[in-house]
Structure 1
Amino acid sequence: MKIKFLLLLGFLSLSGLAQKHHNVENIILISVDGFRWQEVFKGADSLLIEDKKFWTDNKVERRQKLLPFFWNEIAAKGQLYGNRDHGNKVDVKNKYWFSYPGRSETLCGYYDPKVNSNDYPNNPNENVLEFFNSHKAYKGKVITFASWNALGRILNRDRNGMLVNLPEEDVLGANSSEAQQLINELQHLIPDHYPDCRPDELTYIMTKAYIQKNQPKVIHIDFCDTDIYGHNGEYSKYLDAAHRIDKMIADLWNTLQNDPFYKDKTALLIFPDHGRGLGDKWTDHGTGAPHSNETWFAALGPGIPTLGEVSEENQIYQDQIAQTAAHILGMTFKANHPVGERIEGVYLSARK
């Protein structure tokens, strides 16, 4: 018994020392609009696929072919939740199952039944990004680049003054880099993409240029092409959009891991705002498309245990993501509303 006790003390001591090297200083939050858990965990849907680019009969190879960063990097070094075939469930708590309420729930850590429309005005609920921005170490270092212009209202930038860059908006500043100036020009030259939206690739390169120039500490990117092509019923383009998003996330992660400011000090959280229906309902979401309340969640970074695809039966909700992000940065998110509890086991913090 004495030997076991000493071994236990040694393990706890080593764990404590290891965790001291895992205090995350920066965080990336990425939303992938309306991307289903089915494609994340199973790859292309045999009932919907036309272009065989992402097809193979082997499910493991199929999902890896569609999302190589998810399955080569996150599954190997991080955590993936939401494979309902294993009873591992992630859901929105809101009863609407569409974009504004889903994003509001996720970023505010709270389901507000009054937030019931994509045309809803400025969100009265405080979000975790402005919570970070209220702290001295993060003030002015919290950014959002979004492919959909509703993010200005969802995050209520009129209230908090954070940088929330939307379609058609230039990145301003006397010290902007040459890359930023060129991207500003490019934004106004490309063809119209979709009402109130811009291509995800443009959103990404604007984000990357800003990061390389300004080194923000909290980075929020909101992608929407998967939802656009989903609504259009263009399954091949939906898959292409997901594959490109995976590639952009990989590029961002590699960029940060090669920058001493971010390397081994940055965590990555990825999630959708809602799911989609099944079969001929796959093009839609909301209460008229059953199963579009079903989502997923991914995490990667120092201090995040390597669990890979989490296959234990469990239930987590989108309203837990905001508090989880705060916990990773050593904070407790408090707001003008209740906040969901953090997801246990995502981050092993050395902080008390």
Structure 2
Amino acid sequence: MKKLFAIITTLAVVSVSSCSDPKDVGPATPYENGYKTKNVVLLVVDGPRISETWEDSTKQHIPNRVRLLKDGVFISNFMNNGTTNTNPGHSALCSGVYEDIANDGTELPGYPSVMQQWLKYTGADKTKAWIVASKDKLEVLNNCKLADWNGKYQPSADCGTDGNGSDYRSDVITMNQVKNVMKRYSPNILVINLKDVDDRGHNKDSIGYINAIKATDKSITELWDYIQALGEYKDKTTLIVSNDHGRHTAGTRRNAYTSHGDACKGCRHIEFFALGPDFKKNTIINTNNYEQIDVASTIAELLQFPLQYAKGKVIKDAFN
């Protein structure tokens, strides 16, 4: 535990005022010869509460992230300012637009994701953009309602089902699929959903909920190590870790961790943790200037393509 505190105390802390216009969606200034990032992996950890991860003073459940932070950047008060449920949260991360879409997978997002827009812009094969998820209902992320985009430029998808009749599968299966996809297809954009934390919370399994947070933390290190072991990814890939939503704050609620979906701080306060060749290292950013819809614009900035519909801004303070 002392090692964790030692690492934390050596971090650079960046405080940024929130005076910038939230409509400022202009790109960050790129390096003279462009960004080093050629691939972006967005890992969405479904539904942990920030008080059990980064805001726990001991950081006891996320030791791997604490160690990785020497090479990464964390935003301390990153927020979901939209609907705090799974499908709306994932849609906001991928499209840069808050929408209150159905949470059961029966409704497509209204606007194209970064994956669709990147595929159109580059003309790349659909195997170069993927959504790999533990929940089958997230397959809707590979399409949208908008007429000019519906059924077009769709990324590849591998979502849910465990082969035994369930629409969900364990995160272990999903992570194995992620590695298979990366090794076989080398996608430039990869969105991953890990559901076990959310699942254990809804099942009122307090021990399982904490163990799932720990297991996800280990998976993040394994994924980063895997990225560095592949020639197509090493030193040219940015990994962004975030959440679709948090969970209710404890307060007066009994078993608050079991659910989510309203505007309480616990549901809105989510994670932004990232590592990559164009991002700061050993840095914690303290600002209330960034939110969930900013992730899509940041991915587009790193890969240098335009987003037509996104309402977010580039997370400029994370860049070198």
1:3-56 Cα shifts (integer Å, max 9, x gaps): xxxxxxxxxxxxx9987485211110110111121122134xxxxxxxxxxxxx
8 Å CA contact retained: 1:146, 1:223: yes
Q: Is the contact made by 1:304 and 1:347 (CA closer than 8 Å) also made in structure 2? A: yes
Distance 1:21 1:126 in 2: 25
- Mapped pair 1:164 → 2:157: yes
Change (3 A) 1:120 1:288: farther
TM-score, L = length of structure 1: 0.73
Q: What are the within-5 Å matches in structure 2 for residues 116-131 of structure 1? A: 116-131=102-117
Say if 2:49 and 2:266, in contact at 8 Å, map to a contact too: no
CA contact (8 A) 2:54 2:62 kept: no
CA–CA separation in structure 2 for the residues paired with 1:21 and 1:66:
37
Q: Of 30, 38, 45, which aligns to 2:43?
A: 30
**Alignment root-mean-square deviation, CA:** 2.4
Counterpart in 2 of 1:298?
A: 273
Contact map agreement 2:41 2:237 (CA 8 A) in 1: yes
How far, CA to CA, are the matches of 1:305 and 1:297 in structure 2? 13
Instruction: Confirm or deny that 1:78 pairs with 2:64.
Output: no
Paired position in structure 2 for 1:48: none
For 2:103 and 2:214, locate their aligned partners in 1 and report how far apart those are by CA, in whole Å.
29
Q: 2:80 aligns with which of 86, 89, 92?
A: 92
The amino acid that maps onto 1:136 is T
Contact 2:44 2:192 (C-alpha < 8 Å) held by counterparts: yes
Whether the 8 Å contact between 2:94 and 2:296 is mirrored in structure 1 is yes
Cα distance in 2 for partners of 1:18, 1:123 equals 33
Shift of 1:144: 1.3
Deviation at 1:320, TM superposition (A): 0.7
- 1:183 matched residue in structure 2: none
Q: 1:34, 1:275 within 8 Å by CA — same for their partners in 2?
A: yes
The one-letter code sitting in structure 1 at the alignment partner of 2:274 is: A
1:117 positional shift: 3.9
Q: Residue in 2 aligned with 1:317?
A: 291
Change (3 A) 1:118 1:139: same
SS at match of 2:239: strand
Q: Which has the larger radius of gyration?
A: 1
State whether structure 2 residue 184 is matched by structure 1 residue 213. Answer: yes
Instruction: Give the deviation of 1:301 after TM superposition.
Output: 0.7
The 8 Å contact of residues 36 and 295 in structure 1, kept in 2 or not, is answered as yes
Q: Does 1:272 align with 2:259?
A: no
2:267 match: secondary structure: coil
In structure 2, do the counterparts of structure 1 residues 290 and 299 end up closer, same or farther at CA, with 3 Å as the change threshold? Answer: closer
Q: Retained in 1: the 8 A contact 2:105–2:139?
A: no
Query: Where in structure 2 are there 5+ consecutive unaligned residues?
Result: 1-28, 145-149
Match of 1:233 in 2: 204
Q: How far apart, CA to CA, are the structure 1 residues paired with 2:292 and 2:121?
A: 24
Is 1:340 aligned to residue 315 of structure 2? no
Q: From the superposition, tell whether residues 21 and 216 of structure 1 become closer, same or farther in structure 2 (CA, over 3 Å).
A: same
Q: How far apart, CA to CA, are the structure 2 residues paired with 1:42 and 1:294? A: 10
Superposition deviation, residue 315 in structure 1: 2.9
Q: Is the 8 A contact 1:272 1:295 kept in 2?
A: yes
Deviation per CA, 1:276-330: give whole Å up to 9, x if none.
01222221101286631221211111010124232x3433110111001111112
Query: Unaligned 5+ residue runs, structure 1?
Result: 1-15, 44-58, 83-88, 169-186
Aligned AA for 2:236?
K
* Identical-residue share of aligned pairs (%): 23
Change (3 A) 1:197 1:165: same
Residue matched to 1:3: none
CA distance in 1, matches of 2:175, 2:72: 23
Q: Distance in 1 between matches of 2:34 and 2:301?
A: 16
Deviation at 1:126, TM superposition (A): 0.9
1:157-211 per-residue CA deviation (whole Å, 9 max, x = no partner) reads: 872332111123xxxxxxxxxxxxxxxxxx53xx66xx52100110110110121
TM-score, normalising length: structure 2: 0.80
**How far apart in 2 are the matches of 1:228 and 1:126?**
27
Q: Which structure has the highest helix share of the two?
A: 1
Q: Say whether the 8 Å CA contact 1:151–1:164 is kept in structure 2.
A: no
